[in-house]
Structure 1
Amino acid sequence: MSFPFRFVNFVLQLLTAVLEVVALGLLIRILSTHCVLGEEYGISVWMYTFILPAIACQSVVLVIFRLCCTTVGLDPIAMTFNFASGFLCLGSALTLLVSMVDHCGNEFAFIFYMSSAFGVIAGVLHLLNACVCNVYIPSGEWYLLINGMPDFVDWLNQILVLNPQVLYETFEEGKEK
């Protein structure tokens, strides 16, 4: 029953990884343009430069793991990765796209637009894949996720209220490792 959803998950992840790699290649070409070297563009290009390679690398690794391991992809970690990556891709690519409104219109404008457009599409596909993971995640995965949360929430609550005993125990456990 879950085969079509795993196939859809894999195809979405593959398309996302391909789009991110293409956007990354175009981004590398952007870095040597006189617009970027002349600091006409600042934070929009550099934010995209810092965010996109990490997400693209993780997407490629996830696609490779999906080829080797059929159980990877429809799990809470993949769902969280896709949500976070989708929002980061959308945010950084849209920032670059919006900054292009005032572009001088030289021969590199097309590369700027294409790189950010591929980033926006990849971000949307990440969010779509996260929704697929959310809807079709195996029930056993939700059971493990929900049962593990109360301990984490209790620990985090004790840390946030700065319980000295919990802080000391956490520090001592870290020293022993």
Structure 2
Amino acid sequence: MACNFRLSNFVLLIFTAALESVALYFLIRILFTHCVMGEEYGISVWLYLFFLPVITLQSVVLGLFRLFCVTVGMDPIAMVFNLVSGLVCIGTALTLLVASAAHCGNKFRYMFFVSSCLGLIAGILHIINAYVCNYFMPKDEWTYAKPSKRRRIKDSMYRNKFST
């Protein structure tokens, strides 16, 4: 069971990083189109440009670390990263998709759609990966994420006992 979880987590992570990289490539190509340089598009492109490179870099680095250390990316921090990255990718990609569907009618339209659709798919895969991490995470990991009040009191009494 743990092997399937690790494999599915790894495949989702690598596939998400690849989709984000291709979406980033098309986003960079969008920057040099006449509709963006002529300021027909403003906040939708720049919002997407502000968030996508950071999320892509984190996904690629996490994927590279995952090649050498199999337990990286399967903890509460990675789950929160995937959840937040998924929501941000979906929000910014939808913003660009709606803006381009409403206003773009030139030969560069496909770049807007490819970049935003790949970002949307990558966001959905981030959320699926967060769900997979949450579902298969051992119960002991959750005690590190948010220990109960009784456990914190017990730990503080233990520390006070041996600190004097």
Match of 2:50 in 1: 50
TM-fit CA distance, 1:34: 0.3
State the 1:8 CA deviation: 0.2
* Identical-pair percentage: 59
Counterpart secondary structure, 1:21: helix
Moved more, 136-145 or 21-30: 136-145
Q: 1:40 — aligned with what? A: 40
* Deviation for aligned residue 1:126: 0.2
Residues of 2 paired with 1:87 and 1:108: CA distance? 26
Instruction: Return the alpha-carbon distance in structure 2 between the equivalents of residues 25 and 138 of structure 1.
Output: 37
1:103 deviates by 2.5
Q: What is the aligned length?
A: 149
Q: Distance in 1 between matches of 2:35 and 2:58?
A: 29
Q: How is 1:59-98 mapped onto 2 (pairs within 5 angstroms)?
A: 59-98=59-98
| Cα distance between partner residues in 1 of 2:83 and 2:144 | 20
- For the Cα contact (< 8 Å) 1:103–1:109, is it kept in 2? no
Aligned-pair CA distance for 1:125: 0.1
Give me the whole-angstrom Cα distance separating, in 1, the residues matched to 2:127 and 2:76.
Answer: 14
Deviation at 1:101, TM superposition (A): 2.1
Superposition TM-score, scaled by structure 1 size:
0.82
Q: Does 1:13 align with 2:50?
A: no
1:124–1:104 CA distance, 2 compared to 1 (3 A) = closer
| Cα-to-partner distance string for 1:64-86 (whole Å, 9 max, x where unaligned) | 11111111121001000000000
- Measure how far apart 1:102 and its partner are: 2.2
Give the letter for the 1:141 counterpart.
E
Distance in 2 of aligned mates of 1:26 and 1:2: 36
CA contact (8 A) 1:20 1:52 kept: yes
Say whether the 8 Å CA contact 1:6–1:73 is kept in structure 2. no
Query: Partner letter of residue 142 of structure 1?
Result: W
Q: Within 1, Cα distance between the matches of 2:58 and 2:104?
A: 34
- Give 2:70's aligned amino acid: T
Structure-1 separation of matches of 2:23 and 2:144: 36
Aligned to 1:161: none
TM-score, scaled relative to structure 2: 0.88
Q: Residue 65 of structure 2 aligns to which amino acid in structure 1? A: F
Q: Does 1:126 align with 2:134?
A: no
Give 5+ residue unaligned stretches, structure 2.
Answer: 150-164
Q: What's the counterpart of residue 146 of structure 1?
A: 146
- Residue 156 (structure 2) aligns with: none
SS of corresponding position for 1:107? coil
What's 1:27 paired with? 27
CA contact (8 A) 1:47 1:92 kept: yes
- Give 4+ residue runs of structure 1 displaced > 4 Å after superposition: none
Structure 1 residue runs without a partner (length 5+): 151-177
Question: Cα deviation per residue 1:36-60 (whole Å; 9 max; x = unaligned)?
Answer: 0000000000000000000000000
Partner of 2:155: none
